[in-house]
Homo-oligomer: A and B are copies of this chain.
Amino acid sequence: MVQIPRTPTSADVARLAGVSRATVSYVLNKAGAVRISEATRRRVHEAAEELGYVPHAAARSLRAGHSRTVLMPAPAFPAGPLYGQFLSDLQGALGRLDYTVVQHGTAGPHGDTAARAWAELRPVAVLVPAPGLGPEGVRVLKRAGARAVVTLGPEAVEGAHALLMDHAAVGHHAARHLYERGRRRIGVVVPEEPGLALFSAPRLDGARRALAGTDATVTALPLAYEEPAAARLAARWSGLGLDAVFAYNDEYAMLLSRALQDEGVRIPEDTAVIGADDLMLGRLLRPRLSTVHIELPAGRELAALVDRAVRDPAAPPERHRVLGARVVHRESS
């Protein structure tokens, strides 16, 4: 059996190089303040190389009194391609600013209990998707040294920066569009997947509010992301008497469109359909799918916000509406 040697420490490097631990630290961190002779410097580097020395991040940040850890709890909802791309962008951008992103798998009951678990990691900043955090949680995190807490979701939380993603706007745009195209009896698909309620509720609500006070009606249509469910909905379509549907997003739109077409419903003549997210998918459907294009902020912008907040934790919380929505009209509506 090969005995794996103990992890080398800076003391080991110092011993091998014949210098003190302080000197090792100076050399390896290229401290500008102190000048080290070229010879010593080389000896230290060689020793570190030979031992395969790697500094211990936890020890370092314990000593420093702060870390470069940005904590991002995993979202409670299934991340679609759009949001996934956004997260991965963001992660890259933060990495480039020299932060270490820790994606904590939302341990237990999300709420202020989770905040405690996050606080144990003493992150310098925390990025929380959607609900997941109350004012008390923000306080816990700040007391644990978090210099910035940013929420991503529909509403702001006291004490935290907020990137407001207003999904009501998506429903609003979709509904207005259908209305302007002359539709009056409008269905709105509400996915039955529990995690999506976070988005579907505001989208439905946005549609409702967009048409309040008009002669149009809005009907909620619960739908699971499965063919049989779509078929059942399509089977009772004529009874519903709808002339348009906002299908939550492009994927649901495809699911429902297919079921409707199989049922002989003509799109858009009998029923107009509009999705959301502007996926490639929609462009490939026939008729081409109208959609609400959603613009998420670039990862680097958000990373910059985090960085700013970390540098100046005393600054008042920023609120940004970051969800841009606009209708892309194609053939299905």
Chain A residues engaging chain B, CB cutoff 8 angstroms: 1, 4-5, 7-8, 52, 54-59, 61-62, 67, 74, 78-79, 81, 84-85, 88, 91-92, 94-95, 100-107, 116, 119-122, 139-140, 142-145, 225, 227, 251, 254-255, 258, 280-281, 283-284, 286, 314
Question: Are B54 and A58 in contact, with the CB atoms below 8 A?
Answer: no
* Distance between A88 CB and nearest chain B CB, rounded to angstroms: 7
Question: Are B258 and A52 in contact, with the CB atoms below 8 A?
Answer: no
Q: How many copies does the complex hold?
A: 2
Residue of B nearest to A71 (CB): B102
* Distance between A132 CB and nearest chain B CB, rounded to angstroms: 15
Question: Are A5 and B143 in contact, with the CB atoms below 8 A?
Answer: yes
Question: Are A52 and B104 in contact, with the CB atoms below 8 A?
Answer: no
Residues of B within 8 A of A121 (CB): 57-58, 100
Task: Report which of B56, B140, B280 forms a contact with A225, defined as CB distance below 8 A.
Answer: B280
Question: Are B105 and A101 in contact, with the CB atoms below 8 A?
Answer: yes
Identify the 5 closest CB pairs spanning chains A and B, nearest first: A95-B105, A103-B103, A58-B58, A57-B120, A91-B105
Q: With A225-B280, A254-B284 given, is the CB distance from A7 to B143 under 8 Å?
A: yes
Question: Are B284 and A258 in contact, with the CB atoms below 8 A?
Answer: yes
